[in-house]
Amino acid sequence: MHHSLRRTEIIRNILDITSTDEQKGAATLVSFASTSKFLHLHAVDVLWHTLPNIKPLLNCMPSDIWREAPNVAQDFELQRPPRTEDWSRCNYYASRVRRLGYSRSSGPLDKDIWEGVSPRTMQTILEGGLSLPKLRYLCWHFSSRGADEVLLLDGFLRGLDLREFSFSTWRMSSEMFEVLAGLSKLHTLRLIGCTRDALDFAPITKPFPSLRHIALSVDTLPIATSFLSRLAGLPLESIELSFGRLWTRLRRLTLISAQI
């Protein structure tokens, strides 16, 4: 192998560029990882840096813990509870994940990271040994399947050190904001699909000590003024508004207000 390919910064640049190819990037990274021990360490980090959903990690679990799904919408249904040793391979790769619910080449995906996973399996994962110590960016689009979303969200976020969180707000509530407020290092909060009802809830009682940026993707107007007033109590530096399909040709919006 050429000596220049032993320089970490060169290899990481090559691998980072390779990873943006949505069609062949993953396969190419696997080939890199199979070449040598040196390349393996860097290629595996890049390969697992960004995941669209939780399924690649579940595929690392022993196959005998899964049973045939009861319907096509639930690909992962537990046959037996995972044992401690069942998590070792999964967590080997989970420790490298930094973005979940994202595309390799772009931003947050408009998809549920739990798609194809039964509520019982979800609960077991949250109560079990899955560890994501380096996860910094999370996009959460929840498709209700009879599970308590606040409890699942709380269970998943507990212990995470997130910097950016994107959330589909169709069922936003003050309880969810209380859960998010526990993320002490959260810098950016993106609320997707905002409606008047979604943002019209009880006051935010807990501070977001590190929150500096909020992005609102607005689907309907007007936005609840009570929600905007509550934002005034947060240590924000910027608020971004995206109007989606409301004004498709809008390029600039100026808001001037001494008091909301």
Mean pLDDT of 64-89: 79
pLDDT of residue 255: 67
Mean pLDDT of 204-209: 73
Give the tokens for residue 187: 């810098």
Most confident of 26-40, 79-93, 196-210: 79-93
Lowest-pLDDT range of 45-49, 76-80, 104-108, 143-147: 143-147
Mean pLDDT of 54-77: 79
2, amino acid identity: H
Give the tokens for residue 258: 């001494």
- Confidence at 94, pLDDT banded by 50, 70, 90: very high
User: Does the pLDDT of residue 1 top 70, yes or no?
Assistant: no
Mean pLDDT score of the chain: 78
pLDDT of residue 100: 96
User: Does the pLDDT of residue 259 top 60, yes or no?
Assistant: no
pLDDT digits (tens, 9 = 90+) for 216-245: 877 666 666 667 777 777 788 888 877 766
Mean pLDDT of 62-82: 76
- Confidence at 205, pLDDT banded by 50, 70, 90: low
pLDDT of residue 92: 93
| Omega cis (within 30) before 209 | no
Closest by Cα among 217, 246, 252, 216 to 231: 216
User: Does the pLDDT of residue 202 top 60, yes or no?
Assistant: no
User: Does the pLDDT of residue 69 top 80, yes or no?
Assistant: no
User: Does the pLDDT of residue 174 top 80, yes or no?
Assistant: no
- Confidence at 104, pLDDT banded by 50, 70, 90: confident
DSSP string, 95-134: TT--EESB-SSSSB-SS-TTTTB-HHHHHHHHHTT---TT
Q: Classify 13 as helix, strand or coil.
A: helix
pLDDT digits (tens, 9 = 90+) for 110-140: 888 988 887 778 888 887 788 999 999 999 8
The H or E element that residue 165 is part of is strand 164-168
pLDDT of residue 31: 75
pLDDT of residue 199: 63
Terminal-to-terminal C-alpha distance of the chain: 63
Q: How far apart are CA 115 and CA 76, in angstroms?
A: 10
pLDDT of residue 90: 93
Mean pLDDT of 172-183: 78
- Confidence at 73, pLDDT banded by 50, 70, 90: low
